[in-house]
Chains A and B, each alone.
Chain A
């Protein structure tokens, strides 16, 4: 009886090279996703496919540059660690990665003041240089409205908040949001409707009078 190893078998060199090319052309598909944890090239293709999306996801929720960089690294590390457990039934690779991102960022949000204990193999913030910092600050600044929304949404029940986040912040379609959350599209539509009704005021366009507008500005230097 074969015992399935915890780590997938490394493929032969030729088939590996061809699958890398396939990954780069068409993206890392569900069949290849388990390999991102052991194959540096396939991981590289996966990373390039999703890094921008992950950074945007984090910056729309976290305004602190160093925490955002740390979270970005942690999300990919979590993906590397759990890739071998991925099954296509869990959703598309993109939805799967978004789920990881949500869990990590949500954990961060709820316990902002808690000192992050435990092993940190890699601190993303240590890799930022001053040019990166400038670039990230610009993006984080641009996402400040999203963070305000995110803060306002924290008052919603989990299920409704999750859908609204993905649709209003991350601009997924309802179908994509449903897939990311592992729920049926019908359920997603109902939750979204309820969430919007509760946050009707906050979702007004900028410039309109806004009673629920939370102020979350950092103290800056002039």
Chain B
């Protein structure tokens, strides 16, 4: 599965994204109503037509483009194909890294100015050859560029993005995994000509990489946005180490999902542990039903995050409110693991009460620990009494209580209730997650190294992470995992609460890995973590390898009658 490495955005962009999701959901509702009972277009729209003549050249170009695309057929060469999309716009599918000027022309015709360069293996464009810029996309957020790698065609869609399924996700009609795969079904890159300023250009450069025994079976492609003048690309050899891109694609070739485990373990070790977990889960007598009126679903977790302490709050905040901890990597920061216990009570209405208690902050080095204590042990911003209403619990730890609404609001338990209707037979469950029909001959499980297999693993682990999943479905999920070849598996791993179990893991991007720890004796999911296994590659040079980045330890789930 190809990944996107988008740049950081800010409060205003995040808020815009959330608000647009709300508006999009309302828009979907309006469309649905129109489909059911279409009304004649109000005359206001016809009145708008003469106004178009006063609008700028870009709009007229958009009209012209729309006419060309809908009037003409598809243009293709053996290297790429251009297909019109319903409702306007095109999808450009790039099958091989040839005919860069043809791709440029196709993009230009669709309203996007670009510079496309296909390079030989191991080469990159000499930088800098343009001024980096960003576009603010109508989908919310900022796009500054991305690098992607893997086998298969590169798809670029130009024009309106396909409708988001976030409304269905929020109403509990589809799961998180389904929502994520709807995003993945979109093209690798979505470009809307209207998001571009006239002086902006998309810079595309790509080179083949070996994949699966084929010396040019995959590619690494870099997308960027430039403003102003763009110089021609001058190919130069890639610097050493650049053969590994953000997706752990190495010169030897490799997929987007790289399972990570203990390769010294015998071949059937993972399956044995997972079958054991399946049996334990299936025979469990603790089953949670969604809470009825007056009751709450109670979940207790411990979240441990890597945060950096800046002793003098350098450069951040006004002088009477220094920012002690930062969550981004900063070479001046001294790193600590910041644990907080999180208790959430969720009512059937979706309203929640959250209580977070700050635990003991442990710095990665004792010298830093002492320095922080000498400075008065300042808490992170989220627990700073000067910033929030913070109390202390009976042991004196900083604690805050606040109400919230669950992500799906009143649909929360409707979504979680769907888990009870999942198949209880492993193969059937797996195929359902993979969106494949399950009638007929059994279909072999895709390996965890493939995009499909990796995505299936994530989907199954998501099911196991939900507290309301019934025992029979949990057993099926473990059973399905046991059938997936090439899982990254480790034995004897310790979670953030000191409990031991086995783990399934993989690499997601440079230096970062994911690890799900489960207990085969009880069939419980103990924790899920993102951790830094290669600090240099992850760009955290002052942190040792194998440091947790963010771990959520599952401590308790129950249905209770009160918030206490």
Binding site for B on A (CB under 8 A): 2, 5, 7-15, 17-22, 24-26, 31, 36-41, 43-44, 47-48, 51, 55, 65-66, 69, 72-73, 76-77, 80, 119-124, 126-138, 141, 218-222
A133 to B324, CA, bound (A): 12
A123 to B34, CA, bound (A): 31
Name 13 extra pairs, CB < 8 A, besides A21-B55, A80-B26, A135-B10.
A5-B30, A10-B34, A18-B59, A20-B138, A20-B194, A38-B23, A73-B15, A76-B19, A80-B22, A121-B409, A124-B11, A131-B328, A134-B316
Cross-chain contact of B22 among A14, A31, A65, A77 (Cβ < 8 A): A77
A37 adjacent to B160 (CB under 8 Å): no
- Does B39 have its Cβ within 8 Å of any Cβ on chain A? yes
Interface string of B17-50 (1 = CB under 8 A from A): 0111111101101110110000111101100100
Given A130-B325, A131-B10, answer yes or no on A137-B317 (Cβ-Cβ < 8 Å). yes
A47 to B317, CA, bound (A): 26
Chain B residue contacts of A11, Cβ below 8 A: 41, 45
A8 adjacent to B30 (CB under 8 Å): yes
Cross-chain contact of A141 among B23, B138, B318, B326 (Cβ < 8 A): B318
Sample 27 A-B pairs with CB under 8 A, ordered by A number.
A2-B40, A7-B26, A8-B30, A14-B63, A14-B66, A18-B59, A18-B63, A22-B51, A22-B59, A25-B55, A25-B56, A25-B59, A31-B44, A37-B23, A40-B27, A40-B139, A47-B19, A55-B12, A69-B11, A73-B15, A73-B19, A80-B22, A133-B323, A133-B387, A137-B317, A220-B321, A221-B320
Cross-chain contact of A13 among B19, B44, B52, B87 (Cβ < 8 A): B87
A220 adjacent to B11 (CB under 8 Å): no
Given A7-B29, A130-B316, answer yes or no on A17-B15 (Cβ-Cβ < 8 Å). no
Chain A residue contacts of B44, Cβ below 8 A: 31
Chain A residue contacts of B34, Cβ below 8 A: 9-10
A127 adjacent to B26 (CB under 8 Å): no
Chain A residue contacts of B384, Cβ below 8 A: 221
Chain B residue contacts of A19, Cβ below 8 A: 48
A15 adjacent to B55 (CB under 8 Å): no
- Does B181 have its Cβ within 8 Å of any Cβ on chain A? no
- Does B322 have its Cβ within 8 Å of any Cβ on chain A? yes
Given A38-B26, A38-B27, A80-B22, answer yes or no on A31-B48 (Cβ-Cβ < 8 Å). yes
A80 to B239, CA, bound (A): 50
Chain B residue contacts of A129, Cβ below 8 A: 10-11, 327
CB distance from B491 to the nearest CB of A (A): 37
B138 adjacent to A132 (CB under 8 Å): no
Given A25-B56, A122-B18, answer yes or no on A132-B11 (Cβ-Cβ < 8 Å). yes
CB distance from B136 to the nearest CB of A (A): 7
Q: Which of A37, A44, A51 has the most CB of B within 10 A?
A: A44
Given A38-B23, A43-B23, A73-B19, answer yes or no on A15-B45 (Cβ-Cβ < 8 Å). yes
- Does B184 have its Cβ within 8 Å of any Cβ on chain A? no
A219 to B384, CA, bound (A): 12
A17 adjacent to B88 (CB under 8 Å): yes
CB distance from B287 to the nearest CB of A (A): 31
- Does B16 have its Cβ within 8 Å of any Cβ on chain A? yes
B11 adjacent to A137 (CB under 8 Å): no
Cross-chain contact of A72 among B15, B42, B318 (Cβ < 8 A): B15
B31 and chain A: residue at smallest CB distance: A10
- Does B179 have its Cβ within 8 Å of any Cβ on chain A? no
A51 adjacent to B388 (CB under 8 Å): no
CB distance from A139 to the nearest CB of B (A): 10
Chain A residue contacts of B88, Cβ below 8 A: 13-14, 17
- Does B58 have its Cβ within 8 Å of any Cβ on chain A? yes
A55 and chain B: residue at smallest CB distance: B12
Given A31-B44, A44-B138, answer yes or no on A124-B10 (Cβ-Cβ < 8 Å). no
A134 adjacent to B194 (CB under 8 Å): no
B386 adjacent to A219 (CB under 8 Å): yes
A39 to B138, CA, bound (A): 11
Chain B residue contacts of A22, Cβ below 8 A: 51-52, 55, 59
Interface string of B116-155 (1 = CB under 8 A from A): 0000000000000000000010111000000000000000
- Does B173 have its Cβ within 8 Å of any Cβ on chain A? no
